[in-house]
Amino acid sequence: MTYDDPVTRARTWLTGVRLPWSRPSAPRVNVVRLAGAIGGLGPMRRGLTLAGVEPVLERAFGAGHPVAVALVINSPGGSAVQSALIAGRIRALADERKVPVFAFAEDVAASGGYWLASAADEIHADASSIVGSIGVIAAGFGFQGALERLGVERRLHATGPRKGMLDPFRPESDADVARLRALQDDIFASFKAQVRARRGAKLKADDAVLFDGGVWTGREALALGLIDGLGDPRTVMRVRFGDKVRLRSVGARPSRLRRIMPWAGSAEDRAAAWTLGTLAAVEEWALWRRFGL
């Protein structure tokens, strides 16, 4: 009986165990792209969330018995909660399946994007990648002056003094800002703890440098210990696992309805989807613009 025997192939496919006389396969690395802003961007346009990427991660750590999983990250950040949830799931799967994880930054792995990268056992980037932005930011607008000029009276009724905190149609108060800063400091502490836990002794600068919210090129990040090397998935994986290593992309599967009828939905539904998608795209564009992209 040979490797090409149909019985052998069937048993291998069903059990995932190669028989003694079967030909050893080339090492396989499953590749997952984590691209875009992190968090929900609206009902018709989704960013990276645990609910969205978990099925992909599950397949990546199981399909074909991989020797490693490579995360290709291109994200300006977003939700701290979703960043923590996705990174936590990556670590849980890596520990459970005993599969090492390598992260590769493309254009940007900043803020929440770097949080995702920190879940890997090793982080690599291009020399010109943008890496870092370890911090927490909140942005908004104040419209109270516009209401006054229009002669509009703002009416807000809440059950407590903090329920309407940072309402954009009221003047900003010191108490609201102080409370916001306390929330940011708490989230920031979690972010710093994640970086310290995952990078540990690899870090080569003090907190005042690493955690000031700044960004660095891949080459600078390497000198600071935020990443482990410069390189792309194909090159690095060949060095680690040999020239015959196979990189296999693992992505999200479209819904059955979308596969069968990609045009499904009324004209009104499509118009609403276009409008909401445009607004979400503007929000995402603002995140990318922080890094000049």
Looking at per-residue pLDDT, the higher value among 19 and 67 belongs to 67
The tally of domains found in the chain comes to 1
148-152, 213-217, 263-267, range with the lowest pLDDT: 263-267
Looking at per-residue pLDDT, the higher value among 147 and 282 belongs to 147
Amino acid code (one letter) for 20: P
Half-sphere exposure of 213 (CA within 13 A, CB side): 8
Cβ-proximal residues to 30 (8 Å cutoff; 6+ apart), any chain: 59, 60, 61, 63, 64, 66, 68, 69, 70, 248, 249, 250
**Domain CATH for 237:** 3.90.226.10
- 148/106 Cα distance (integer angstroms): 46
Coil, strand, or helix at residue 1?
A: coil
User: Would 224 be classed as within a structural domain?
Assistant: yes
Structure tokens at 32: 């997952």
Q: Which residue from 284, 231, 52 is spatially nearest to 125, judged by alpha carbons?
A: 231
Half-sphere exposure of 40 (CA within 13 A, CB side): 4
DSSP secondary structure letter of residue 40: B
Domain that holds residue 71: 25-138+199-289
18-27, 89-98, 130-139, 182-191, range with the lowest pLDDT: 18-27
Whole-prediction pTM: 0.77
Counting residues of the chain whose pLDDT is more than 70, the rounded percentage is: 75
Cβ-proximal residues to 203 (8 Å cutoff; 6+ apart), any chain: 195, 196, 210, 224, 225, 226
pLDDT of residue 25: 77
pLDDT of residue 198: 97
User: Would 9 be classed as within a structural domain?
Assistant: no
> Tokens 């003090």 belong to which residue?
206
pLDDT grade for 287, boundaries at 50, 70 and 90 = low
pLDDT of residue 246: 96
Looking at per-residue pLDDT, the higher value among 155 and 237 belongs to 237
pLDDT per position as a tens digit, 197-223: 999 999 999 999 999 999 999 999 999
Cβ-proximal residues to 27 (8 Å cutoff; 6+ apart), any chain: 67, 241, 242, 244, 245, 246
> Tokens 């770097």 belong to which residue?
114
Asked if the model's pLDDT at residue 244 lies above 60, the reply is: yes
Cβ-proximal residues to 195 (8 Å cutoff; 6+ apart), any chain: 114, 118, 134, 203, 210, 211
User: In whole angstroms, how far apart are CA 75 and each of 17, 117, 156, 196, 267?
Assistant: 37, 10, 37, 21, 32
60-64, 129-133, 259-263, range with the lowest pLDDT: 259-263
pLDDT of residue 10: 52
Q: Is the dihedral of CA 211, 216, 218, 224 positive or negative?
A: negative
pLDDT of residue 278: 56
Half-sphere exposure of 132 (CA within 13 A, CB side): 26
pLDDT of residue 252: 72
pLDDT grade for 257, boundaries at 50, 70 and 90 = very low
User: Would 187 be classed as within a structural domain?
Assistant: no
Structure tokens at 225: 């210990």
User: In whole angstroms, how far apart are CA 36 and each of 108, 277, 286?
Assistant: 10, 14, 12
76-80, 125-129, 241-245, 270-274, range with the lowest pLDDT: 270-274
Q: What mean pLDDT comes out for the span 177-196?
A: 94
CB 124 within 8 A of CB 104: yes
pLDDT per position as a tens digit, 33-56: 999 999 976 554 578 999 999 999
pLDDT grade for 164, boundaries at 50, 70 and 90 = confident
Structure tokens at 101: 């994880």
User: Would 191 be classed as within a structural domain?
Assistant: no
User: Would 83 be classed as within a structural domain?
Assistant: yes
pLDDT of residue 33: 97
User: Would 19 be classed as within a structural domain?
Assistant: no
pLDDT grade for 259, boundaries at 50, 70 and 90 = very low
pLDDT of residue 132: 95
User: Would 234 be classed as within a structural domain?
Assistant: yes
User: Would 12 be classed as within a structural domain?
Assistant: no
Asked if the model's pLDDT at residue 8 lies above 90, the reply is: no
pLDDT of residue 167: 77
pLDDT of residue 93: 98
CB 179 within 8 A of CB 165: yes
